Amino acid sequence: MRRTRNAKIVATLGPASSSPELIRQLFMTGVDVFRLNFSHGSHADHAERFKFLRALEAETGRPIAILADLQGPKLRVGSFAGGPVMLAQGQAFRLDLDTAAGNAQRVQLPHPEIFAALAPGAELLLDDGKLRLVVERCGADFADTRVAVGGRLSEHKGVNVPGVLLPITALTEKDRVDLTLALELGADWIALSFVQRPEDVSEARALIGDRAAIVVKLEKPAAVDCLDEIVALSDAVMVARGDLGVELPAERVPAIQKRIVRLCRAAGKPVIVATQMLESMVESPVPTRAEASDVATAIYDGADAVMLSAESAVGRYPVPTVDMMNRIIEQVESDPAYRQLIDASHSASRPGGNVAEAVCCAMRGAVALLQAAAIVCYTSSGHTSLRAARERPESPILSLTPRLTTARRLALVWGVHSVHTADVVNVDQMTQRACEQARRDGFAQAGQFIVCIAGMPFGTPGTTNLMRIASA
């Protein structure tokens, strides 16, 4: 089976989407990548969903990518003795390390690293920014604050510290345990939450190696400040607009989103736009017009994928939500203005590039000139297909690989239809297989042109150096 669109859909599994039948429906409706959110659910839950996804993959013959999303250092307040409290504007409120249940005057904040980084005048945002505290006095184990924006505060609500680089690692002890399970199960992508600095990515890379690819979630202002370095170290990037929109003024998020998408496209790194894409469909069978426009904007910008979170994990309408997202993408990609915008925003390679860039630039031109039915990439590592996708060509990309792990990872990438196939030994065999597969999967009819690219010698990562034009 094949999709008729270029942009991909990532959907989060949860209580509303755990049954085998519902997961099958989500896949058949349009999901390309399934996200397992390790902030919720047990290891047994994730293992069961993983097992079924691999069975579904074998049943349908289409590689399915599984994204394991680690919780990261989510900062939360402690508990309250008498239930939620009301904080009034102007009142004093203390945060400390005391394990005793809190009240309207104080509460535990079990994160000494936060106190170490605070200074008078710093702001703390609670419950996704609904409440705001300003630090007046602080020490190694406390912070005396004044309530700038009050409201109801209940236990274990999140804490954000905008503008402060916190001395914490992106991988907690929980994350390390979850990562071990995800790698044992065979997750294709690992998402790192609350990355602040390039070193956070390097630390994860040392643990993961080549067992999975890394998605860096950009949701901290500190990460945006060193965006180029973080993107260079990542395999893919997620614009995680939830926490990013808490720690930054809302009006800055759209421009940052576009900047990240542009940078990732130029670098040839897959980019996912996430959070509140179709949020109203958690409870409603139809989205708001603003949400539909939000999804469309990400597609017009050339994002590789858009992601559903609560909509598919706990929402009332997970399958209709995927169907709606699929329809929005197809509608945008059928708009003549879409191709114009994609071409206008394409970052052409400049003199001084490498052989792979030269081959893929030639491929893009050949496809346009010949109106080729498809591009066929023969790849071992996935590098050739990634490089082809960076060009955002007019024709679909059929990616043939002897490595199932590569086929699965490429399910995230714009325009790529990934097929796990047997190895080839020479160019003629590669060309023959490319033509056969293009006809079999409906990408080309007999006599139509296809453009094949590959690296020689076969099986050597990063050696894209061959282009051949063939007739299907």
Q: Residues with catalytic annotation?
A: 35, 76, 217, 275
426: CB partners within 8 A, 6+ apart: none
For residue 252, the SS3 value is: helix
Name residue, tokens 């006809």. Answer: 439
Beta strands in 154-304 (DSSP E): 159-160, 189-192, 213-218, 236-240, 271-274
CA atoms lying within 13 Å on the CB side of residue 2: 20
Cα-trace Rg, the chain: 24
Rounded to the nearest 10 degrees, what angle do helices 383-390 and 355-370 cross at?
60
Task: Show Cβ contacts of residue 351 under 8 Å, excluding neighbours closer than 6 positions.
Answer: none
DSSP assignments along 71-123, one per residue: -----B---BTTS-EEEPTT-EEEEES--S-B-SSEEE---HHHHHH--TT-E
Contacts of 157 (CB under 8 A, 6+ apart): 76, 77, 126, 127
